[in-house]
Amino acid sequence: MSESLLNWDDYIQVASLSDVGMRRATNQDNLSVSLASSMEQWQRKGHVFIVADGMGAHAAGELASKLAIDHIPHLYAKYNDSSAPEEMRKAVEGANSEIHRRGQANEEFHNMGTTCSVLTILPEGAVCAHIGDSRIYRLTQNRIEQLTFDHSLVWEMKFAGQLSEEEERLGKIPKNVITRSLGPYAECNVDLEGPFPIQVGDTFLLCSDGLTAVISDTEIGSILANMSPDEAVKVLVDLSNLRGGPDNITAVIVKIGHPKLATSGNHSSGKSSRYSSSNKPLVPATFWGGFIGSAIVTILLYFLGFWQISLLTGVVSLAAVGYLVSRLIKNSFQGKHGGTGEVFGKGPYVRLGCASSGQFAKQLADMLRKLQEGALRENWKVDWPQLKSMTGKAEQATSQEDHSTAIANYGRAVSFLMDQLRNQEDASSSSIEL
């Protein structure tokens, strides 16, 4: 296939959705999806996904998050002088400078800021650039992992040993106090995490805290594991709203569907990039010539009785051996981790199994039942035969203990009913107490 006609749908599934939630008047979240224009471009820059959650009065937060998602891909595309992770760090820092400049120039936007989580899918793996408390997750082998560290007061105190699990559960420290963001200050401290190895079937989620405030990590994992990205992103947003929707909700789901994008299979094309192995020999021929010549001279001087000079040439030979060993170690490290061989951050910070399939299916069934009761009570117009067909499939799967199918069908039914309720003539009153 011609690279100019490359259809990424054959390689990667992407779904995204942003919602104002139930308590906010405006949506200050923003997202960006930037797929490489060709396979060559992907090998150099990868695919880039961003979620930003703005903060500030009036329209300031919305502007801050919009500046982040606009400037980061633009700046990242311009940089070509270092590794992709470092170029992404520079791009995020550049966006911070622009947000800060705009905030300083207009009193109405003073101190505006935004969280920012960036996922880059590269040949050497998944790399995250992150600041704030939006998150990036990875679902791999039925395990959900949080790849980013929350820059919040709760997380900072917890990891410093200053906050117990009981104190956190009781909410003694507000969860919405963040310690880092883009915009308020001229300089920012951006976390890099990764590269994380990628397998076919791995699913990544970028989301704002409007989602994670009401849906647990294990529930997120169960939804990602049992539904397609298009379905999962709707269920995550709908479930967040059904649980109160206290904030704006944004989610981007990325599922790897082709070995070409897997870490173990992305060097097979033979195309060169900054991250693939060079065709040059590991140790240049000039080194071998110098090393062998130095060794021969050392031996001859030793037997001819020139001890001091032979000692000097021997040191040169040993230095050459040291250089060879360092090259071998460096090459081994690059082969293991890809790219420059540098590994960033300490993630994942959370590793959990997905929610119990049977229990979670029951929770979705209970939620759907309450939704139906509310719709009947309010006399809303609903396509009941279609809903009955969907719930019937879920109930049949539950009776057969096929919990994955049950979760998928209950999730579809919940989103279907939510869509029906949104389409009521009096949409402003379409709310149900669960």
Per-residue 3-state assignment (H helix, E strand, C coil) for 321-347: HHHHHHHHHHHHHHHHHCCCCCCECCC
Residue 397: what pLDDT? 95
d(CA 285, CA 282): 10
Long-range contacts of 376-383 (CB under 8 A, 24+ apart): 378/429, 378/430, 378/432, 380/420, 380/421, 380/424, 380/430, 381/420, 381/424, 382/417, 382/420, 382/421, 383/420
d(CA 428, CA 416): 18
DSSP state letter for 265: G
Residue 316: what pLDDT? 62
Residue 93: what pLDDT? 98
d(CA 375, CA 369): 10
Global model pTM greater than 0.75: yes
Q: What is the pLDDT along the chain (434 residues), one digit of tens a residue?
A: 444 457 899 899 999 999 999 999 999 999 999 999 999 999 999 999 999 999 988 789 999 999 999 999 999 999 999 999 999 999 999 999 999 999 999 989 999 999 999 999 999 999 999 999 999 999 999 899 999 999 999 999 999 999 888 888 888 788 889 999 999 999 999 999 999 999 999 999 999 999 999 999 999 999 999 999 999 999 999 999 999 999 999 999 999 999 999 997 554 333 333 333 333 444 455 555 665 666 676 676 666 666 666 666 666 666 665 655 555 444 443 333 335 578 999 999 999 998 778 999 999 999 999 999 988 998 889 999 999 999 999 999 999 999 999 999 999 999 999 998 888 765 544 444 45
Contact between residue 200 and residue 259 where contact means Cβ atoms under 8 Å apart:
yes
Residue 332: what pLDDT? 41
Residue 329: what pLDDT? 44
